[in-house]
Amino acid sequence: VERTLAIIKPDAVHKSEEIEDIILRSGFTVIQKRRVHLTPEQASDFYAEHYGKMFFPSLVAYMSSGPILAMCLAREKAIAYWRELIGPTNTLKAKETHPDCLRAIYGTDDQRNALHGSDGYSAAEREIRFFFPDSVVE
């Protein structure tokens, strides 16, 4: 089975129990789970691919503004299926076009979008190792 990294971001962490229920009901197994409060340096590292973009400083401030819940999820086609379940990046657009997706339900605005999902196989491997350095890669 495939694995992906999911994050419940600071704006949605107070809803994590509800969100975890949905995750389990959607056929995922939670392999590992960790509540962390990232430093700005750690948040910059995690989002290094966005360094230099206009929204980078506020993204780092947002992701280090409070605790998050990082989860390694497993399921058949976990990466694509989790991205589909969370929906479009921009919460405001998600509310219009995909009202049932998790970002539409739990997100706040174009930046504070409640959830993260790895966007491909190599990102998933890197991100799982970022939060769970001891995890075994099959």
Binding site residue list: 9, 55, 83, 89, 103, 113
Contact segment (CB under 6 A) with ligand ATP among 23-31, 34-42, 71-79, 112-120 equals: 112-120
Q: Which is nearer to ligand ATP, 52 or 134 (CB)?
A: 52
> Does 98 qualify as catalytic in the annotation?
no
Size of the site for ligand ATP (CB under 6 A): 9
What is the distance between the alpha carbons of residues 66 and 32, in angstroms, rounded to a whole number?
20
Does the footprint of ligand ATP cover residue 116 (CB under 6 A)?
yes
Listed residue (10, 5, 12) closest to 101, CA to CA: 12
Q: Which is nearer to ligand ATP, 100 or 134 (CB)?
A: 100
Q: Which is nearer to ligand ATP, 122 or 134 (CB)?
A: 122
Q: Are 16 and 8 in contact (CB under 8 A)?
A: yes
Catalytic residue numbers, as ranges: 116
Interface residues toward ligand ATP, by CB under 6 A: 55, 59, 89, 110-111, 113, 116-117, 119
